Amino acid sequence: MDISVKDQIEKIEVELFLEAIFRQYGFDYRNYAYESIRRRIWHSARETKATTISEYQGQVLYKPELMKILANNISITVTEMFRDPSFFESIRLNIVPRLKTQPIVRIWITGCSSGEEVYSLAILLHEEGLYERSRIYATDINEAVLQRAKKGTISILHMQQYTKNYLQAGGQREFSKYYKVDGEHVILEPFLKENITFAQHNLATDQSFNEFHVIICRNVLIYFNQHLKNRVFQLFYESLSEGGILGLGSQETIISSKVFSDLDYSNKIYIKD
Ligand SMILES: C[S@@+](CC[C@H](N)C(=O)[O-])C[C@H]1O[C@@H](n2cnc3c(N)ncnc32)[C@H](O)[C@@H]1O
Protein backbone atom coordinates (compact mmCIF):
# COMPACT_ATOMS: atom_id res chain seq x y z
CA MET A 1 0.00 0.00 0.00
CA ASP A 2 1.14 3.53 -0.82
CA ILE A 3 2.81 5.08 2.26
CA SER A 4 0.73 8.25 2.13
CA VAL A 5 -2.51 6.19 2.04
CA LYS A 6 -1.26 4.12 4.98
CA ASP A 7 -0.47 7.31 6.92
CA GLN A 8 -3.89 8.70 6.09
CA ILE A 9 -5.63 5.56 7.36
CA GLU A 10 -3.48 5.56 10.47
CA LYS A 11 -4.47 9.17 11.19
CA ILE A 12 -8.14 8.17 10.98
CA GLU A 13 -7.46 5.26 13.33
CA VAL A 14 -5.66 7.48 15.84
CA GLU A 15 -8.49 10.02 15.85
CA LEU A 16 -11.15 7.33 16.26
CA PHE A 17 -9.09 5.66 18.97
CA LEU A 18 -8.77 8.92 20.95
CA GLU A 19 -12.50 9.55 20.60
CA ALA A 20 -13.24 5.98 21.74
CA ILE A 21 -11.14 6.15 24.93
CA PHE A 22 -12.57 9.58 25.71
CA ARG A 23 -16.13 8.26 25.43
CA GLN A 24 -15.46 5.04 27.29
CA TYR A 25 -13.01 6.19 29.98
CA GLY A 26 -13.11 10.00 29.99
CA PHE A 27 -9.37 10.32 29.19
CA ASP A 28 -9.17 13.26 26.82
CA TYR A 29 -6.06 13.14 24.64
CA ARG A 30 -7.91 14.32 21.53
CA ASN A 31 -5.91 17.54 21.31
CA TYR A 32 -2.48 16.23 22.14
CA ALA A 33 0.22 16.79 19.50
CA TYR A 34 -0.40 14.17 16.80
CA GLU A 35 3.10 12.72 16.24
CA SER A 36 3.85 12.32 19.90
CA ILE A 37 0.48 10.74 20.82
CA ARG A 38 0.71 8.41 17.78
CA ARG A 39 4.10 7.16 18.97
CA ARG A 40 2.83 6.67 22.54
CA ILE A 41 -0.19 4.68 21.33
CA TRP A 42 2.03 2.43 19.21
CA HIS A 43 4.38 1.92 22.14
CA SER A 44 1.47 0.44 24.14
CA ALA A 45 -0.14 -1.33 21.16
CA ARG A 46 3.05 -3.28 20.44
CA GLU A 47 3.01 -4.66 23.98
CA THR A 48 -0.34 -6.34 23.21
CA LYS A 49 0.91 -7.56 19.80
CA ALA A 50 -1.77 -5.49 18.03
CA THR A 51 -0.87 -4.96 14.38
CA THR A 52 -3.10 -1.94 13.80
CA ILE A 53 -4.44 0.81 16.04
CA SER A 54 -7.99 -0.33 15.21
CA GLU A 55 -7.16 -3.75 16.61
CA TYR A 56 -5.65 -2.17 19.71
CA GLN A 57 -8.77 -0.01 20.10
CA GLY A 58 -10.94 -3.13 20.45
CA GLN A 59 -8.61 -4.49 23.12
CA VAL A 60 -8.50 -1.25 25.14
CA LEU A 61 -12.28 -0.77 25.00
CA TYR A 62 -12.95 -4.21 26.44
CA LYS A 63 -10.04 -4.33 28.92
CA PRO A 64 -9.89 -1.36 31.33
CA GLU A 65 -6.54 -2.59 32.66
CA LEU A 66 -5.03 -1.79 29.23
CA MET A 67 -6.33 1.77 29.53
CA LYS A 68 -4.38 2.18 32.77
CA ILE A 69 -1.18 0.99 31.10
CA LEU A 70 -1.79 3.29 28.15
CA ALA A 71 -2.43 6.31 30.40
CA ASN A 72 0.86 5.62 32.17
CA ASN A 73 2.73 5.33 28.89
CA ILE A 74 1.24 8.57 27.55
CA SER A 75 2.22 10.51 30.63
CA ILE A 76 5.86 11.55 30.27
CA THR A 77 6.86 12.58 33.75
CA VAL A 78 10.58 13.31 33.44
CA THR A 79 11.54 16.14 35.76
CA GLU A 80 14.45 17.50 37.83
CA MET A 81 15.13 19.81 40.72
CA PHE A 82 16.15 23.26 39.47
CA ARG A 83 15.71 22.04 35.88
CA ASP A 84 17.12 24.69 33.51
CA PRO A 85 18.93 26.54 36.32
CA SER A 86 18.78 29.89 34.49
CA PHE A 87 14.97 29.78 34.73
CA PHE A 88 15.19 29.65 38.52
CA GLU A 89 17.91 32.29 38.55
CA SER A 90 15.59 34.53 36.60
CA ILE A 91 12.80 33.91 39.11
CA ARG A 92 15.15 35.14 41.84
CA LEU A 93 16.21 38.21 39.88
CA ASN A 94 13.05 39.22 38.03
CA ILE A 95 10.07 37.79 39.86
CA VAL A 96 10.94 37.72 43.55
CA PRO A 97 11.25 41.54 43.81
CA ARG A 98 7.71 41.87 42.39
CA LEU A 99 6.33 39.24 44.74
CA LYS A 100 7.84 40.96 47.76
CA THR A 101 5.20 43.66 47.38
CA GLN A 102 2.38 41.14 47.96
CA PRO A 103 1.10 40.24 51.45
CA ILE A 104 0.19 36.72 50.26
CA VAL A 105 1.65 35.10 47.14
CA ARG A 106 -0.42 32.52 45.26
CA ILE A 107 1.44 30.30 42.80
CA TRP A 108 0.11 27.55 40.54
CA ILE A 109 2.55 24.96 39.21
CA THR A 110 0.73 22.82 36.70
CA GLY A 111 2.08 19.59 35.20
CA CYS A 112 4.16 19.33 38.36
CA SER A 113 4.92 15.61 37.94
CA SER A 114 6.60 14.11 41.04
CA GLY A 115 7.19 17.51 42.64
CA GLU A 116 10.90 18.24 42.06
CA GLU A 117 10.08 21.59 40.42
CA VAL A 118 7.69 22.48 43.24
CA TYR A 119 10.19 21.78 46.02
CA SER A 120 12.84 23.72 44.08
CA LEU A 121 10.59 26.75 44.09
CA ALA A 122 9.79 26.27 47.79
CA ILE A 123 13.54 26.32 48.57
CA LEU A 124 14.08 29.43 46.46
CA LEU A 125 11.18 31.27 48.12
CA HIS A 126 12.43 30.20 51.54
CA GLU A 127 15.87 31.67 50.82
CA GLU A 128 14.26 34.88 49.64
CA GLY A 129 12.16 35.16 52.81
CA LEU A 130 8.95 34.66 50.85
CA TYR A 131 7.92 31.08 51.53
CA GLU A 132 6.05 31.83 54.76
CA ARG A 133 3.55 33.97 52.89
CA SER A 134 3.39 31.84 49.76
CA ARG A 135 0.71 29.29 48.87
CA ILE A 136 1.77 26.90 46.13
CA TYR A 137 -0.93 24.89 44.33
CA ALA A 138 0.78 22.04 42.48
CA THR A 139 -1.34 20.05 40.05
CA ASP A 140 -0.99 17.26 37.52
CA ILE A 141 -3.32 14.98 35.56
CA ASN A 142 -1.49 11.89 36.83
CA GLU A 143 -2.50 10.66 40.33
CA ALA A 144 0.46 8.29 40.63
CA VAL A 145 3.07 11.05 40.29
CA LEU A 146 1.11 13.28 42.67
CA GLN A 147 1.30 10.56 45.32
CA ARG A 148 5.09 10.52 44.90
CA ALA A 149 5.22 14.31 45.03
CA LYS A 150 3.30 14.38 48.32
CA LYS A 151 5.87 12.10 49.92
CA GLY A 152 8.71 14.54 49.28
CA THR A 153 11.31 11.83 48.72
CA ILE A 154 13.84 11.72 45.89
CA SER A 155 16.27 9.06 44.71
CA ILE A 156 19.74 9.73 46.08
CA LEU A 157 21.21 8.98 42.65
CA HIS A 158 20.05 12.37 41.35
CA MET A 159 21.28 14.51 44.22
CA GLN A 160 24.69 15.30 42.75
CA GLN A 161 23.09 16.70 39.60
CA TYR A 162 20.45 18.58 41.60
CA THR A 163 23.12 20.15 43.81
CA LYS A 164 24.87 21.40 40.69
CA ASN A 165 21.59 22.77 39.31
CA TYR A 166 20.82 24.47 42.64
CA LEU A 167 24.18 26.27 42.71
CA GLN A 168 23.90 27.30 39.06
CA ALA A 169 20.43 28.66 39.82
CA GLY A 170 21.93 31.02 42.41
CA GLY A 171 21.44 28.77 45.46
CA GLN A 172 22.92 30.41 48.51
CA ARG A 173 23.24 27.64 51.08
CA GLU A 174 24.50 24.11 51.44
CA PHE A 175 21.97 22.12 49.43
CA SER A 176 22.30 19.11 51.76
CA LYS A 177 20.66 21.21 54.50
CA TYR A 178 17.33 20.68 52.73
CA TYR A 179 17.20 16.90 53.06
CA LYS A 180 18.10 13.87 55.14
CA VAL A 181 19.50 10.72 53.58
CA ASP A 182 17.39 7.61 54.14
CA GLY A 183 18.94 4.60 52.38
CA GLU A 184 18.59 5.02 48.64
CA HIS A 185 16.39 8.09 48.99
CA VAL A 186 16.56 11.52 50.49
CA ILE A 187 13.66 12.94 52.47
CA LEU A 188 13.14 16.64 51.92
CA GLU A 189 12.81 18.81 55.04
CA PRO A 190 9.13 18.69 56.12
CA PHE A 191 8.87 22.49 56.39
CA LEU A 192 9.14 22.63 52.59
CA LYS A 193 5.76 20.89 52.31
CA GLU A 194 3.92 23.22 54.65
CA ASN A 195 2.60 25.70 52.08
CA ILE A 196 2.11 23.31 49.17
CA THR A 197 -1.21 21.75 48.15
CA PHE A 198 -0.95 18.90 45.64
CA ALA A 199 -4.14 18.13 43.67
CA GLN A 200 -5.32 16.49 40.48
CA HIS A 201 -6.20 18.90 37.66
CA ASN A 202 -6.52 18.28 33.93
CA LEU A 203 -5.48 21.18 31.70
CA ALA A 204 -7.48 19.75 28.80
CA THR A 205 -10.84 19.75 30.57
CA ASP A 206 -10.78 21.49 33.97
CA GLN A 207 -11.37 25.12 34.81
CA SER A 208 -9.48 27.61 36.92
CA PHE A 209 -9.75 27.38 40.70
CA ASN A 210 -8.17 30.62 42.00
CA GLU A 211 -6.39 33.81 41.00
CA PHE A 212 -2.61 33.56 40.97
CA HIS A 213 0.37 35.90 40.95
CA VAL A 214 2.51 33.30 39.20
CA ILE A 215 1.72 30.28 37.00
CA ILE A 216 4.45 27.86 36.04
CA CYS A 217 3.73 25.28 33.36
CA ARG A 218 6.93 23.81 31.94
CA ASN A 219 7.43 20.96 29.51
CA VAL A 220 3.72 20.18 29.30
CA LEU A 221 2.48 22.28 26.36
CA ILE A 222 4.97 20.59 24.01
CA TYR A 223 2.64 17.57 24.14
CA PHE A 224 -0.47 19.57 23.13
CA ASN A 225 -1.70 20.67 19.69
CA GLN A 226 -2.34 24.36 18.93
CA HIS A 227 -6.05 24.10 19.76
CA LEU A 228 -5.33 22.78 23.24
CA LYS A 229 -2.44 25.24 23.75
CA ASN A 230 -4.89 28.08 23.01
CA ARG A 231 -7.35 26.70 25.54
CA VAL A 232 -4.61 26.50 28.16
CA PHE A 233 -3.30 30.03 27.45
CA GLN A 234 -6.83 31.34 27.86
CA LEU A 235 -7.14 29.43 31.15
CA PHE A 236 -3.83 30.90 32.36
CA TYR A 237 -4.86 34.40 31.30
CA GLU A 238 -8.10 34.12 33.27
CA SER A 239 -6.29 32.64 36.27
CA LEU A 240 -3.60 35.34 36.57
CA SER A 241 -3.99 38.58 38.45
CA GLU A 242 -3.09 41.82 36.65
CA GLY A 243 0.67 41.90 36.09
CA GLY A 244 0.79 38.16 36.85
CA ILE A 245 3.73 36.09 35.67
CA LEU A 246 3.68 33.03 33.41
CA GLY A 247 6.72 30.71 33.19
CA LEU A 248 6.96 28.13 30.39
CA GLY A 249 9.46 25.43 29.42
CA SER A 250 12.57 26.11 27.33
CA GLN A 251 10.91 24.80 24.15
CA GLU A 252 7.58 26.55 24.71
CA THR A 253 6.65 30.03 23.54
CA ILE A 254 3.68 32.32 23.34
CA ILE A 255 3.58 33.40 19.72
CA SER A 256 2.23 36.87 18.84
CA SER A 257 0.27 37.31 22.02
CA LYS A 258 -1.66 40.51 22.57
CA VAL A 259 -2.20 39.75 26.24
CA PHE A 260 1.26 38.75 27.47
CA SER A 261 4.61 40.56 27.10
CA ASP A 262 8.13 39.17 27.49
CA LEU A 263 9.65 39.62 30.91
CA ASP A 264 12.66 37.39 30.19
CA TYR A 265 12.29 35.94 26.70
CA SER A 266 15.31 33.63 26.87
CA ASN A 267 13.92 31.96 29.98
CA LYS A 268 10.33 31.93 28.68
CA ILE A 269 8.96 34.17 31.38
CA TYR A 270 6.00 36.39 30.45
CA ILE A 271 3.91 39.02 32.15
CA LYS A 272 0.17 39.54 31.77
CA ASP A 273 -0.53 42.98 30.24
C1 LIG B 1 7.57 16.19 31.26
S2 LIG B 1 6.60 16.42 32.72
C3 LIG B 1 7.10 18.04 33.21
C4 LIG B 1 7.34 18.14 34.70
C5 LIG B 1 7.83 19.50 35.19
N6 LIG B 1 6.90 20.55 34.89
C7 LIG B 1 9.19 19.84 34.63
O8 LIG B 1 9.27 20.65 33.71
O9 LIG B 1 10.19 19.27 35.08
C10 LIG B 1 4.96 16.67 32.06
C11 LIG B 1 3.87 16.53 33.08
O12 LIG B 1 2.66 17.05 32.52
C13 LIG B 1 1.59 16.25 32.97
N14 LIG B 1 0.44 16.41 32.07
C15 LIG B 1 0.25 15.88 30.83
N16 LIG B 1 -0.96 16.21 30.36
C17 LIG B 1 -1.56 16.97 31.31
C18 LIG B 1 -2.83 17.59 31.41
N19 LIG B 1 -3.73 17.50 30.44
N20 LIG B 1 -3.12 18.29 32.55
C21 LIG B 1 -2.22 18.39 33.55
N22 LIG B 1 -1.00 17.80 33.51
C23 LIG B 1 -0.67 17.10 32.41
C24 LIG B 1 2.18 14.84 32.98
O25 LIG B 1 1.44 13.96 33.79
C26 LIG B 1 3.60 15.09 33.48
O27 LIG B 1 3.69 14.93 34.86
CA dihedral 239, 240, 241, 246 (to 10 degrees): 170
What is the rounded average pLDDT of the residues 84-95?
98
Q: What does residue 29 show for φ and ψ, rounded to 5 degrees?
A: -105, 15
State yes or no: pLDDT of 146 exceeds 70.
yes
- Give the strands of the sheet with 212-217, arranged side by side: 196-200, 134-140, 105-110, 212-217, 240-248, 269-272, 260-264
Q: Given this model, what pLDDT does residue 93 score?
A: 97
Establish whether residue 229 lines the binding site of ligand 1, counting it when its CB lies within 6 angstroms of any ligand atom.
no
Establish whether residue 141 lines the binding site of ligand 1, counting it when its CB lies within 6 angstroms of any ligand atom.
yes
**DSSP assignment of 129-144:** T-GGGEEEEEEES-HH
What is the rounded average pLDDT of the residues 112-136?
98
Establish whether residue 213 lines the binding site of ligand 1, counting it when its CB lies within 6 angstroms of any ligand atom.
no
Report the residue among 36, 141, 143, 225 best suited for mutation to probe ligand 1: largest number of ligand atoms under 8 A from its CB: 141
What is the rounded average pLDDT of the residues 74-100?
96
Percent of the chain with pLDDT over 90: 95
Q: How does strand 196-200 pair with strand 179-182?
A: unpaired
Q: Given this model, what pLDDT does residue 257 score?
A: 75
Q: Are 128 and 92 a contacting pair, CB within 8 Å? A: yes
Specify the residue with its C-alpha closest to ligand 1, atom 17: 141
Q: Given this model, what pLDDT does residue 2 score?
A: 83
Q: Ligand 1 centre from 217 Cα, in Å?
A: 8
Q: Given this model, what pLDDT does residue 256 score?
A: 63
What is the rounded average pLDDT of the residues 10-21?
98
Establish whether residue 218 lines the binding site of ligand 1, counting it when its CB lies within 6 angstroms of any ligand atom.
yes
Average pLDDT, the chain: 96
Establish whether residue 268 lines the binding site of ligand 1, counting it when its CB lies within 6 angstroms of any ligand atom.
no
Percent of the chain with pLDDT over 70: 100
Q: What are the pLDDT digits (tens) for 37-48?
A: 999 999 999 999
Establish whether residue 109 lines the binding site of ligand 1, counting it when its CB lies within 6 angstroms of any ligand atom.
no
Report the residue among 218, 220, 232 best suited for mutation to probe ligand 1: largest number of ligand atoms under 8 A from its CB: 220
Question: 172 pLDDT band (50/70/90 cuts)?
Answer: confident
Q: Which of 7-16, 165-174, 256-265 has the lowest mean pLDDT?
A: 256-265
Establish whether residue 75 lines the binding site of ligand 1, counting it when its CB lies within 6 angstroms of any ligand atom.
yes
Assigned architecture for domain 85-272: 3-Layer(aba) Sandwich (3.40)
Specify the residue with its C-alpha closest to ligand 1, atom 3: 219
Domain(s) of CATH 3.40.50.150: residues in the chain: 85-272
Establish whether residue 78 lines the binding site of ligand 1, counting it when its CB lies within 6 angstroms of any ligand atom.
yes
